Structure 1
Amino acid sequence: MSRAQSPVLLLVALLSTAGLQAAAETRLIMVEEQGCVWCERWNAQVAPVYPKSPEGQRAPLQRMDIGDPVPDDLSFDGKFRYTPTFVLVDDGTEIDRIEGYPGQDFFWGMLDRMLRKLDTGAAETD
């Protein structure tokens, strides 16, 4: 193998590894409904900055109406009783959830706790 081929092989290997990491998809599902005052408050206070935040980069937001059927690629631990409900999912499986909107200061802290739970693999414990 020539020196010119080495960087090409390295690039292919890096792209292959990136593809494997992308397969483990982490998302934050926001279960909402029209007319929900707390959903509107979250939309005003958090939604504009969420996609730009490190949390939003790591767990992009996906919205779902509480009345819609659960998409085939998602698995939740239980029914939804409140809106908004924020569900952290990894590879389509629920890791943890926040029921209701506790205000932006508490929301960020609770989301951070959920992401740490994902990092430690503690999805089954609280």
Structure 2
Amino acid sequence: MILTTAATGFISAYHARADLVADHQDWSPTIVIVATDSGETISLQVEHGRIVALHEQALPGTLVITSDSATLQDILEFRLNPNEPYVFGDLTVQGAEADFLRLDYIVTVLCPS
């Protein structure tokens, strides 16, 4: 439930940035987010740059992001830029590099400095 709540806020913030959504209108991944400590898993279904569904289960994912629930919550709520936990191995990403780079760009733009 923690990830679902945090992702809901993330989705609202992302959709509020029409420029970001427009920049990614050719992007339609499914992003699976897995909390290693709690087992909570959510999937974000993106179609033409818009997040159209949030599922409280794992779907076949284009990107699979894994970390502990506190780190994932901090990233989704813009308290933590994902680069640091990624560099130190506390956050892992499986999937195509192009998809990872797009998601990293979106989160970095939304995350205050």
Compare the two structures and name the one with the higher strand fraction.
Answer: 2
TM over 0.5: no
TM-score for the superposition, normalised by structure 2: 0.31
Instruction: Name which one, 1 or 2, has greater alpha-carbon Rg.
Output: 1
